[in-house]
Amino acid sequence: MKYVDEFRDPQKAQWLLREIRSLVSQIEVCRRRPLGIMEVCGGHTHTIFRYGLNKMLPEEVEFIHGPGCPVCVLPRGRVDDCVGLAQHPEVIMTTFGDAMRVTGSKKSLLQAKAEGADVRMVYSPLDALKIAKANPGREVVFLALGFETTMPSTAFTVLQAQREGISNFSLFCNHITIIPTIKAVLDSPDLQVDAFLGPGHVSMVIGTRPYQFIAGHYRKPIVIAGFEPLDILHSVWMVLKQLAGGRCEVENQYRRVVPEAGNAQALEAIQAVFELREFFEWRGLGSIDYSGVRMRSAFAGFDAEHKFSMPNVKIADPTSCQCGEVLKGVIKPPQCKVFGTACTPENPLGSLMVSTEGACAAYYNYGWIDRESLKPAKVPA
């Protein structure tokens, strides 16, 4: 298939749905309970809800929404540190748009900007580097976010800054890695996952080999999936084929983009600039060992955590917000006590309602939720 319309062909979708229904009838566990397939990536979640794929599939197949939204798992303490950096008069804080609206314990970067901080939205770290060149008397900090998908562009930017001798550019590094995250999900006692749809963009960088432990050790099928509606349906069909045949393998539906060995140049740049942190705090999930990265000591001059003093305090999420349970797939977004009432895209309490990859935002925007039923009852005078 060459064109986007071909990935949204209704006839092909109907054929896949018929095959999926046939496979479901062959899988023994489906006679006892719904089959739980976790889509790790928030981009998949939005495709599923935007095109109503969850409504098309048989009731024996249930999507479980995973923690693959990097903006959503940024803890409140790190947001507070970022806001603190932005409030330095000599600092220009640069960030992707989604991250501007994630609140810390007191405010977001967007609120700090409204109060006078110099916070600028960029589309890539190279944009931040251009700002540093144009403002040699200011310190330009880039809020580095994302899984291995965005790590290479950050690493290449740091290497370019080093080559050009640009000393007023630094990163506040919050990059995270996918494999420890999936392992933490698999080790969670609260969750029943039967199979995975693997993240397409991360896999474009790391390849398919790192997922072998999921099939080999945990005995769960995983299919690396693309992001169009037919990609998702095809990947579900591939997962069910494995389960019906008693197989547990790593398969690659997104072969037009994802090579088995990943992207060697990207991985080399990541390895050159970053190293694993022993511990990293995730919003709603707690600390996951070796799940985050920091800058190597050779690049300390580009590390905002070395240039500036930061409290790095851990701050708990509001007790009313249940982002952690949603991230782990224990509950669905509408089951959260504040979903659609105290927490909406216009006034987000939880980070999952902020990001374009957040599961709560997907449900709110595409989930056919009766919003009238979510409004709190009026208290009689």
What are the pLDDT tens digits along the chain (381 aa)? Answer: 566 778 888 899 999 999 999 999 999 999 999 999 999 998 999 899 889 999 999 999 999 988 877 777 888 899 999 999 999 999 999 999 888 988 888 899 999 999 999 999 999 999 999 999 999 999 999 999 999 999 999 999 999 999 999 999 999 999 999 999 899 889 888 778 999 999 999 999 999 999 999 999 999 999 999 999 999 999 999 999 999 999 999 999 999 999 999 999 999 999 999 999 998 888 777 888 999 999 999 999 999 999 998 877 777 777 777 877 787 777 888 888 888 888 887 777 777 887 767 888 888 888 655 555 555 544 333
Q: Which amino acid is at 223?
A: V
| 3-state class (DSSP) for residue 140 | strand
Decide if 180 contacts 208 (C-beta within 8 A): no
Distance CA 238, CA 351 (A): 32
Q: What is the pTM of this model?
A: 0.87
- Kindly state the greatest CA–CA separation across the chain: 68
For 145-201, give the DSSP string: EESTTTHHHHHHHHHHHHHHT--SEEEEEEEB-HHHHHHHHHT-TT----EEEE-HH
Q: What is the pLDDT of residue 369?
A: 58
pLDDT at 240: 97
Write down all domains in the chain, each with its CATH number in brackets.
1-322 (3.40.50.11740), 323-365 (no CATH)
Asked if 307 and 175 touch (Cβ cutoff 8 Å), the reply is: no
- Cβ contact 73:67 at 8 Å: yes
pLDDT at 80: 93
Single out the residue of 57, 56, 45, 132 nearest to residue 327, CA to CA.
45
The pLDDT value recorded for residue 288 is 87
